[in-house]
Chains A and B, each alone.
Chain A
Amino acid sequence: AQTVTQSQPEMSVQEAETVTLSCTYDTSENNYYLFWYKQPPSRQMILVIRQEAYKQQNATENRFSVNFQKAAKSFSLKISDSQLGDTAMYFCAFNDMRFGAGTRLTVKP
């Protein structure tokens, strides 16, 4: 079974700074997809970024980028120039079915 581990239950960062959220996973598959989803307080979950395992290039979406290390089974999310609106729960997901426990990120003014 695939498991997804987010080892940081809570993190905080000052506005405009950079923060990295960690995610590791376990799988025997060679081709798969990884996702980061964001769930703001009392709002719906939305996709932040998606990575296909067969692509070596790290995915980037504006201020959000990932560091995908396939051999290490690691998939971290970097948020640059943090904004107050980035305050949310962040979930790492494997193949859209297995989610990590989440990291609660607070951006402080």
Chain B
Amino acid sequence: KAGVTQTPRYLIKTRGQQVTLSCSPISGHRSVSWYQQTPGQGLQFLFEYFSETQRNKGNFPGRFSGRQFSNSRSEMNVSTLELGDSALYLCASSKGSNYEQYFGPGTRLTVT
């Protein structure tokens, strides 16, 4: 079974730009969650999608948004990038809530 894939793996953007990150879950997994990982803040939950619906949302500003497609693939968008958005963005898929999550390798975003 193929694992969770995330594209791109590395990204450099400038302040004010927007960015879209993509996540392809494991086949058969309907839940996709997104996390922001930084050395100072640790792992912060962004949101979870299940069957194309946002089911849970973390405490992030509206600049962070996401969506899920009918094939369970998910995208995350960050608009008006700030320096503090520099982080490793992790995507994880699972069969549903509180099942084991399978994490992707992450997208490392650098905002300059």
Contacts and interface: CB of A to CB of B under 8 A. Distances in A.
Interface of A: 33, 35, 37, 44-47, 50, 91, 95-102
Contacts of B44: 99
Interface of B: 3, 33, 35, 42-45, 48, 56, 58, 90, 92, 94, 97-101, 103-106
A86 to B, nearest CB: 18
A40 to B, nearest CB: 12
Chain B contact surface mostly: strand
A97 B43 CA distance: 9
B93 to A, nearest CB: 11
B43 A91 contact: yes
Contacts of B90: 45
A102 B58 contact: no
Given A96-B98, A97-B58, A102 B43 contact: yes
